[in-house]
């Protein structure tokens, strides 16, 4: 017997040999895009000149840019709808829900492979799928029938025993794992759950855990497909799509981490990292200004029925505001029909749209210096939309207690844990999911004035002489590089405009300095450890490329961002000796010679610091395919030339 993850990967193997650390190419069954990354993804797909997607299923879901303050977001939605109709993609309209919740309910299938242009795509691992977050360009290539490439991962068995006590939730399981693993420990690994504790968790609870597995740096996370999975699919009237994927045993894993669910307690991730986890009891008495419940992590029907039951007959604290974002239209409809929505509204909750919303700073921003308690998956600096706010990540149960009492407190103060009842049958209404056109040749692509064409990608130069435009610390996120929020997200399909906000939260002068330097040879970015963690947003690579960035030199990279840099022709290098990081100053002039031959020969690249007169030895781990992509100037030009 082999692990579930290994079996699925081997069954989908198209290129390479399944050996630990070696690059493999796998066949992709399903793809998923959302609107913040989807426009660039489909512009790239159009550039490939194909008539139709070649996957079993491709889905485009609008959930990020739903705050429509002008024409930009609705124009993008119409573009995405028309592209989906023309090229064979299912289109989930604005208001139908958050991409990962909708996909879990209506599309995810055990044993399938999925890549999505969102880092929380592993949510579908709760259904027994290999679901991986990737850059939009990787997704576009997969839609065109190309393999998805990754290094053969270690399979880490997460052995669950016991069962969750009252007021301890699935969110606490993944927060406990994050407390143990932090961001970098999961890199190059798949987290596979097994053990007797698995049977105590519903599919939505499993999906909460796999969703936030992304915060460990893991490639993905996966649960078995068992009778609980079958019941969920039957509930969704998709029972015919169930296949059994039995859980592994101790001998199937490269490493094992054991978690006794019975011993867990409520946990909190403090600012500004999901890995900064402490027991809830450490924060008792701390005043709370805002509570937000929802996101792709905790917005299922089970989550929100529990929330409504805890709010019933209570009022939120006068100094605290509460917002609730149901994960999908399906969830919202069931809450309304069964009276749960009324319980939440009567308690004083504000009901927000079934969309990502405040998780990405798209509305419901907290007040100045707020303590914001959220059931989300990330609490990076500035992500709430209010830079001075501090965001804490918790379970829905802890969030309700904070909203009712106006402070961090023991949720047991709410009384006995409610016995909730999930409806045995729900209404399935897919009318907000539009199928592709039966006459694609008659579909015209709709392009608003905010949609700019992709830039031209030039082959990699042989020599660089560039200025160090910025030097960053460890754990720089893609939010730091390319912020989200209501002001910037609507510019996702307009590269010249969105590039004006690169590094805005760290150094607002960066874009102007980069553009001034672009014609003088371009720039280089110097980063610390785990550079580019967080969201899969490829704009964090694409916008710097537009500003003339040729190379990023760091101590280490987060997986998706490193791959995005390669995809857009930016050379990602790491220090051979991290002591050299301390020697480099912003403003230094650096030089690389003979880049093309060095890459072709797969030999180390040495960078000369002309300003300080010393050499910097660097390293890289490019596959043969990645070296060819870099030499071509990016994955799009490489793919078009190869087709």
- Candidates 384, 392, 346; CA nearest to 366 is 384
Which is catalytic among the residues 63, 76, 226, 303? 63
Which is catalytic among the residues 77, 317, 329, 378? 378
Residue 416 annotated to the active site: no
Residue 63 annotated to the active site: yes
Q: Name the burial class of residue 266, with classes exposed (0-12), middle (13-18) and buried (19+) by CB atoms within 10 angstroms of its CB.
A: buried
Which is catalytic among the residues 340, 492, 537, 627? 537
Strand order in the sheet with 13-15: 13-15, 23-26, 148-151
Residue 343 annotated to the active site: no
332, 326 Cβ separation under 8 angstroms: yes
Which is catalytic among the residues 12, 64, 206, 492? 64
DSSP string, 89-148: -EEEPTTSB-HHHHHHHHT--TT-EEEESSTTGGGGGGGT-EEEE--HHHHHHHHTTPPE
Which is catalytic among the residues 317, 535, 559, 561? 535
DSSP string, 408-430: ---GGGG-SPP-----SS-----
Residue 30 annotated to the active site: no
Residue 93 annotated to the active site: no
Residue 577 annotated to the active site: no
Which is catalytic among the residues 35, 75, 118, 480? 118
Query: Interhelix angle for 329-337 vs 99-106, to 10°?
Result: 80
Contacts 24+ apart (CB under 8 A), 204-207: 204/104, 204/126, 204/170, 204/300, 204/301, 204/302, 204/303, 205/126, 205/169, 205/170, 205/302, 206/125, 206/126, 206/127, 206/170, 207/100, 207/104, 207/123, 207/124, 207/125, 207/126, 207/127, 207/300
CB-based contacts of 58, cutoff 8 Å, min separation 6: 30, 31, 32, 33, 88, 89, 90, 143
DSSP string, 20-51: TTSEEEE---EEEEEHHHHHHHHHHHHHTT-S
Cite the active site residues.
Answer: 63-64, 118, 378, 535, 537
């Amino acid at each position: 017997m082999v692990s579930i993850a290994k079996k699925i990967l081997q069954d989908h193997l198209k290129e390479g040999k399944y050996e630990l650390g070696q690059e493999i190419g796998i066949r992709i069954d399903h793809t998923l895009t959302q609107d913040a990354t989807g426009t660039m993804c489909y512009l790239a797909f159009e550039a490939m000149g194909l008539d139709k997607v070649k996957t079993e299923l491709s889905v485009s879901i609008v959930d990020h840019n739903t705050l429509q303050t002008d024409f930009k977001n609705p124009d993008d939605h119409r573009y995405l709808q028309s592209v989906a109709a023309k090229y064979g993609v299912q289109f989930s309209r604005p208001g139908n829900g958050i991409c990962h919740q909708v996909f879990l309910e209506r599309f995810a299938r055990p044993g399938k492979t999925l890549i999505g242009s969102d880092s929380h795509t592993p949510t579908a691992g709760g259904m027994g799928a290999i679901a991986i977050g990737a850059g939009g360009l990787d997704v576009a290539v997969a839609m065109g029938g190309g393999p998805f490439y990754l290094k053969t991962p270690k399979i880490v068995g997460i052995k669950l025993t016991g069962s969750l006590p009252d007021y301890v939730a699935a969110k606490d399981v993944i927060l406990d794992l994050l407390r143990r693993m932090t961001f970098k420990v999961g890199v190059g690994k798949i987290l596979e759950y097994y053990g007797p504790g698995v049977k105590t968790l519903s599919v939505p609870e499993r999906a909460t855990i796999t969703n936030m597995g992304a915060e460990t740096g893991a490639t993905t996370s996966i649960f078995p497909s068992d009778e609980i999975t079958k019941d969920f699919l039957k509930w969704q009237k998709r029972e015919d799509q169930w296949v059994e994927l039995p859980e592994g045993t101790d001998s199937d894993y490269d490493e094992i981490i054991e978690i006794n669910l019975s011993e867990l307690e409520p946990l909190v991730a403090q600012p500004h990292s999901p890995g900064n986890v402490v027991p809830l009891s450490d924060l008792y008495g701390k005043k709370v200004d805002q509570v937000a419940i929802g996101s792709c992590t905790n917005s299922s029907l089970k989550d929100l029925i529990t929330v409504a039951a805890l709010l019933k007959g209570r009022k939120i604290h006068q100094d605290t505001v509460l917002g609730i974002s149901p994960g999908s239209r399906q969830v919202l409809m069931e809450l309304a029909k069964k009276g749960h929505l009324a319980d939440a509204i009567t308690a004083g909750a504000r009901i927000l749209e079934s969309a990502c919303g405040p998780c990405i700073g798209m509305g419901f921003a907290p007040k100045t210096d707020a303590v914001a308690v959220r059931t989300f998956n990330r609490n990076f600096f500035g992500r709430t939309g209010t830079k001075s706010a501090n965001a804490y990540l918790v379970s829905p149960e802890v969030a309700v207690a904070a909203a009712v009492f106006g402070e961090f407190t023991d949720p047991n103060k709410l009384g006995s844990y409610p016995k909730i009842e999930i409806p045995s049958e729900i209404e399935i209404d897919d009318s907000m999911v539009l199928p592709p056109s039966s006459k694609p040749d008659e579909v015209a692509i709709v392009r608003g004035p905010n949609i700019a064409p992709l830039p031209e990608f030039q082959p990699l130069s042989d020599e660089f002489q560039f200025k160090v435009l910025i030097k960053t610390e460890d754990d720089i996120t893609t939010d730091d590089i390319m912020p989200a929020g209501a002001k910037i997200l609507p510019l996702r399909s307009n590269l010249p405009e969105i590039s004006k906000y690169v590094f805005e939260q760290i150094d607002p002068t960066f874009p102007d300095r980069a553009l001034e330097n672009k014609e003088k040879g371009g720039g280089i970015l110097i980063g610390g450890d785990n550079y580019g963690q967080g969201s899969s947003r490829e704009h964090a690579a694409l916008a710097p490329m537009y500003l003339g960035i040729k190379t990023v030199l760091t101590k280490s990279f987060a997986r998706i961002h490193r791959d995005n840099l390669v995809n857009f022709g930016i050379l990602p290098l790491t220090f051979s000796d991290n002591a050299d990081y301390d020697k480099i100053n912003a403003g230094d002039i650096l030089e690389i010679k003979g880049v093309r031959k060095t890459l072709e020969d797969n030999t180390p690249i040495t960078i000369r610091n002309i300003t300080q007169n010393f050499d910097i030895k660097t390293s890289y781990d490019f596959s043969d395919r990645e070296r060819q992509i870099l030499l071509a100037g990016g994955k799009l030009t490489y793919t078009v030339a190869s087709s």
